[in-house]
Structure 1
């Protein structure tokens, strides 16, 4: 199935609508059109940071419209943010999303983790790992090759068959201005999937995302009503629903310090998730900050000492990024350095 039309939604930050990213926006539009794909920006997706911050109902409306529009094959999130959970009442209070939801390609990461859990609750299989502004609009002369490979596989086939490690990782940009267009990021050799605990081969359906967003389900560390809203609508799966799944975990660009990382892992351990899942996949930390500290914390804090833990997956906030399907049975084989998906 080749994607014919992509709908862009801003479900978190409204950054895509700001003047200072117009050059990135135009690069992304041209790249999508070069694939022969039509691109549509949902009505509120370009309204800017301030408007969308104050109007979560408008963000929710765009998602509903994207699912209602039969001409849209793929819903692509503009970028992340930090308050997608505020869409919950507008999507779930009267089953607004449930009434219109259907199986389409849905791709996003970071704060979009919350949307993945929303759609998982409604039985929709989604794809995690890339966004429009962060990846398609990359200001190098082209999308990063590893990132591009998986994006093209998804838009050409509607699936991801398998993922392997990237040969390189990159220093994150601090300057996205016009004068940096065509300037490449510094690259480093990458070591591949690292098995730090447990057996080298395991399988299960993958679910998860950005670790700090997952922590919204357990603690109001950023906003005072995250746990209340998430619990009200039952967005986080029960411990029984987690049985034999694989948890995907990756940290954000905020680079949580080791103490905060430990706090999150302890909360998940107390919930019991590490006792029932079949394995844990951990994304490379951005710029490899706290790389060894996070690894040590996982080994120290996870009570299940037999749990397979695979570290250094090229997913989430460290570039380049693959795409991981949620809700599809995956087989992880670190001996062969591959994660394959059985549709």
Structure 2
């Protein structure tokens, strides 16, 4: 059964409510209407950057309300940001999120990584890789074809059956003004999933997301209370809980320098993550910036030389974007260039 009603939430940045982006929003609304989808902007989602910034409790209310509304089939994040960890007290005190959450499609990426970990904490599978403004509202004449393919699959099947590489990748858009409506992105040939270490076949449930957001679990340089809040609610899984999982990592539009990237990978290495997972998927860097440098660092800093590592997955901040289910059994086969998902009793 296809999705009939989508809720839009602003869980990180409140840019959705700003006047300067309304030409993008209008475009996205029209595209969703063409799918005969009813759209609901949650109560606080359109209140703008400043309101959203100082009211994490309002963001949390919107997520709870979207889960509680039985007419809503899918929760779609407006965009990322950098402080959605601040929702933790408003979602986990009194077990609020656990009491409200039920299985429905939740889709977002970037800073939404934290929200995916929140849902993982209460056992709710979710979907990583696309969001309303960057994907549905893409200023080209239509959604990017590869991105659109996976979004439509999620709409029509309420699942993703498999992920294969895109045949092309695009340079990031630099001008988001009205004048850019209908303009295409510069594209390049993409070379598929790249096995850089280990065996070409492995399996496990995938979890992860934006590397910078994951680094915030271990580092207070962005906000002074990220570690303490995430530790209080035990948001990052223990090594025991990571056993057998596949870790997904992708870098943001900030394009961290190789030195910063190395620091982040080393932190995960020190935690022991790479010794217990069954494999690592690494997303394509935006614009292929530091493509070879990141690859070298991953190989240098991960001491487990038998860990299977797949590079250049079309997920996250580089366009186009697939959608990857978290919490669903995945089989990776790089010879066949495919990641398949087995929903079993899900």
TM over 0.5: yes
Q: Distance in 1 between matches of 2:162 and 2:68?
A: 30
Counterpart in the other structure of 1:67: 67
Q: 1:129-183 CA distances to partner (integer Å, 9 max, x unpaired)?
A: 0000000001111000000000000010000000100000000001011111100
Q: Distance in 2 between matches of 1:324 and 1:254?
A: 22
Q: Distance in 1 between matches of 2:220 and 2:257?
A: 18
Counterpart in the other structure of 1:337: 337
CA displacement at 1:190 relative to structure 2: 0.2
CA displacement at 1:7 relative to structure 2: 0.2
The equivalences for 1:123-162 within 5 A come to 123-162=123-162
Does 2:280 correspond to 1:292? no
CA displacement at 1:93 relative to structure 2: 1.5
Q: Distance in 2 between matches of 1:176 and 1:121?
A: 36
Q: Distance in 1 between matches of 2:72 and 2:268?
A: 36
Does 2:19 correspond to 1:19? yes
Q: Distance in 2 between matches of 1:159 and 1:135?
A: 18
Counterpart in the other structure of 2:31: 31
Q: 1:315-343 CA distances to partner (integer Å, 9 max, x unpaired)?
A: 00000000000000101111000000011
SS in structure 1 at match of 2:335: coil
Q: Distance in 2 between matches of 1:259 and 1:42?
A: 40
Counterpart in the other structure of 2:304: 304
SS in structure 2 at match of 1:141: coil
Counterpart in the other structure of 2:264: 264
CA displacement at 1:14 relative to structure 2: 0.3
Q: Distance in 1 between matches of 2:76 and 2:238?
A: 28
Q: 1:102-133 CA distances to partner (integer Å, 9 max, x unpaired)?
A: 00000000000000000000010000000000
Q: 1:71-116 CA distances to partner (integer Å, 9 max, x unpaired)?
A: 0000000000000000001101121111111000000000000000
Counterpart in the other structure of 1:52: 52
Counterpart in the other structure of 1:224: 224
Does 2:176 correspond to 1:176? yes
Q: Distance in 1 between matches of 2:275 and 2:283?
A: 20
Q: 1:24-57 CA distances to partner (integer Å, 9 max, x unpaired)?
A: 0000001111001100000000111011001111
Q: Distance in 1 between matches of 2:338 and 2:65?
A: 37
Unaligned runs of 5+ in 1: none
CA displacement at 1:275 relative to structure 2: 0.5
Q: Distance in 2 between matches of 1:34 and 1:58?
A: 30
Counterpart in the other structure of 1:87: 87
Q: Distance in 2 between matches of 1:264 and 1:309?
A: 17
Unaligned runs of 5+ in 2: none
Counterpart in the other structure of 1:4: 4
SS in structure 2 at match of 1:241: helix
The equivalences for 1:90-105 within 5 A come to 90-105=90-105
Q: Distance in 2 between matches of 1:36 and 1:282?
A: 35
Structure 1's consecutive aligned runs of 4 or more residues displaced over 6 angstroms after TM superposition are none
